[in-house]
Structure 1
């Protein structure tokens, strides 16, 4: 136990003090604040005066040579933030827009045709669409009047809303989909990145012969369990800081986002507990594999190729989790929740989507925990055998021989 704690402390300190760890954590935290603060800087909120009325801080010029716009109040209703002026000529509209004396200009050519003038167009400019609605509404009213229909009554009929309420008696899968998607991605990136780092770290120790000293000073079990659990703690710390930064940044800018993410961030406690338990066990399961394979490599350059099957398995589980997310009640999804190499992600998905009972969660958790422990013991054996193997390529045949060898 003492050896394990020493290895754990040393490895954890080394991981937390790495420049890559610190820089990536800070960058993601800063990025979260910057991205979630964007609406605050780019919001185009309407300005109001002391009486609560709209402040007209923009200017619009309209050239209506044929007097087509009969209802000028309709224009004012659609453009309350504009000071609207009617030009005497088209040239006046073009010149003032070009000289930035007016923010927008229009030439009304017919009852259903106009030209929009703007100095610099932008992607989110909806001015032309709003003016189109003005002409469309006026044209419809005019044509309906010719048929002796009251345009306001016809419009009221077409715009009568249908109200409804949705009562969710079980789990709200629609709201749960968003945070489940995000947590799946977090779990996937965490296992893939940190697991590969463990494999590279073990291989680098072996390439510089440091591993020979370590194996004579500590037991293989203490070494691999210490390394893997240290990586798990470092990963949890970094992920917690990143997610915490996102949540803090959102809370500071929730008003600018109009609280649109509130319902997606209301994650049930059972989902969080399942995410933590299955996520950590899944991380440990694959980290033992990465560490064992890293010990079998003679050079750091061999790690990526040797761990490719493990990475492909993780990618496959990642894809399967999305299939489970779309169809959580299928037999395939249930099977994936009990298979230990996929249950670490698929069971969490089923819990989030409300398709797993407590008994199913416990059974899946026990199977995953037992498999993780067995993989840890197997990883320690491969770790011990691999430290004495130099120059041999990592092949399944060689791995099976090492497993069958008696201590």
Structure 2
């Protein structure tokens, strides 16, 4: 037991002090602080200088309405009427004007526009001008038809469309949108965390083999003890890093929560996170980690060069990516039969069953069955992986493919 703890804490401390871990933690922390303070950052850069668009309207029929439309948006874009287009292009090049809007009318009295600018990359300005002209055209066309302002307002009033779930326990449309946004974020956390820490195990094993340190280690402790010491050591490392990020995000959110209302913050359910969702996120994260970490450990034992790591763990990576892509598909239709079936497939369950639990009222027996299948798969994979690891750590030379598993099993029997 003492040897196991030595391996566990050596793995934990060596990774905790490594430059790559410290740099990754710092960069990720800066990113988290940026996301949780996004409203303050937006407000800081939102003080844009006033942009003026020159408008040539020979009849002066559209310009007052364009001014009114732009003023109603409350943005920094302003319109200024010009009597001629001569010399305007030079003023655009010098920066005096953002662009030139040339307004003309057809035989029916309906407006059309032509916009000139140094560059047409400013899509926001173009869209605002186009929408302003569109509103003017609609107003002129409806007035020609003899419609009153009240009739026009009624025509463009959004239709009332309520969505009601018949099941009492089902989430409302607003709750479902919040759950969808929250699950989306947590799925990314699970996906990147599992793939990062599982790959870290495979790389660590390969590094020790390439430096011949492995031969010394397995002479003092059994390969099985070494394998699970690494898995739990990096699990402890991942929990340390994630806990640090959660604390940083919580403190930052607490200071900005008042400004995080409406818009995307309402969609992502900031400040209204169900405790059960967080619990299931932790449970499925840990199960997913141990599943893929065990897989990565015995795959890493098959190679003796760091350059071969990405090739040997490709099947594992594809499984994680496939599970993530299925989960992304399921965000818009979590009740889909395909999503229900794949939530019980162990390599997909950490993300897909969590998706269902976060967005739907899933029966307890289904959650229990999925977790039970996951745990059973982890145990079976650990037993099989331990045998492969025992022989794999003694294999040197170039790794050709997953066929080396058979060779590793044979070496394991011979020991």
Query: Same fold per TM (> 0.5)?
Result: yes
Change (3 A) 1:159 1:15: same
- Shift in Å, 1:12: 0.9
1:200–1:303 contact (8 Å) kept in structure 2 = yes
1:61–1:85 contact (8 Å) kept in structure 2 = yes
Aligned partner of 1:401 among 406, 410, 415: 410
In structure 2, the residue matched to 1:152 is 149
In structure 2, the residue matched to 1:129 is 130
- Shift in Å, 1:280: 0.8
1:109 aligns with 2:104: yes
Aligned partner of 1:232 among 231, 235, 246: 235
2:302–2:405 contact (8 Å) kept in structure 1 = no
Change (3 A) 1:349 1:84: closer
Aligned partner of 2:256 among 216, 241, 252: 252
Q: 1:234-269 CA deviation, whole Å, 9 max, x = no partner?
A: 223334445665666666387388552234234422
Change (3 A) 1:208 1:93: closer
- Shift in Å, 1:359: 2.0
TM-score (norm 1): 0.79
- Shift in Å, 1:398: 1.8
- Shift in Å, 1:402: 4.8
Q: Which has the larger radius of gyration?
A: 1
C-alpha distance in structure 2 between counterparts of 1:313 and 1:60, whole Å:
53
C-alpha distance in structure 2 between counterparts of 1:137 and 1:323, whole Å:
39
1:306 aligns with 2:307: no
231-240 vs 17-26, which moves further: 231-240
- Shift in Å, 1:372: 1.9
The count of aligned residue pairs is: 390
1:40–1:256 contact (8 Å) kept in structure 2 = no
C-alpha distance in structure 1 between counterparts of 2:184 and 2:198, whole Å:
21
Aligned partner of 1:293 among 281, 295, 299: 299
C-alpha distance in structure 2 between counterparts of 1:331 and 1:84, whole Å:
54
C-alpha distance in structure 2 between counterparts of 1:341 and 1:268, whole Å:
26
C-alpha distance in structure 2 between counterparts of 1:221 and 1:34, whole Å:
42
- Shift in Å, 1:283: 1.0
- Shift in Å, 1:324: 4.9
**Secondary structure at the counterpart of residue 348 of structure 2:** helix
1:282–1:344 contact (8 Å) kept in structure 2 = yes
In structure 2, the residue matched to 1:261 is 265
Aligned partner of 1:195 among 198, 222, 229: 198
**Secondary structure at the counterpart of residue 130 of structure 2:** helix
C-alpha distance in structure 2 between counterparts of 1:341 and 1:99, whole Å:
60
Change (3 A) 1:120 1:365: closer
- Shift in Å, 1:228: 0.6
1:177 aligns with 2:176: no
83-92 vs 293-302, which moves further: 83-92
**Secondary structure at the counterpart of residue 223 of structure 1:** helix
TM-score (norm 2): 0.78
In structure 1, the residue matched to 2:346 is 340
1:203–1:303 contact (8 Å) kept in structure 2 = yes
Change (3 A) 1:132 1:6: same
- Shift in Å, 1:16: 1.5
- Structure 1, unaligned stretches of length 5 or more? 47-56
C-alpha distance in structure 2 between counterparts of 1:374 and 1:102, whole Å:
70
Question: RMSD between aligned alpha carbons?
Answer: 3.6
In structure 2, the residue matched to 1:68 is 61
1:60–1:102 contact (8 Å) kept in structure 2 = yes
C-alpha distance in structure 1 between counterparts of 2:333 and 2:115, whole Å:
49
C-alpha distance in structure 1 between counterparts of 2:315 and 2:384, whole Å:
17
Counting only pairs closer than 5 Å after superposition, residues 325-364 of structure 1 correspond to structure 2 as 325=331, 327-330=333-336, 332-354=338-360, 356-364=362-370
Change (3 A) 1:400 1:313: farther
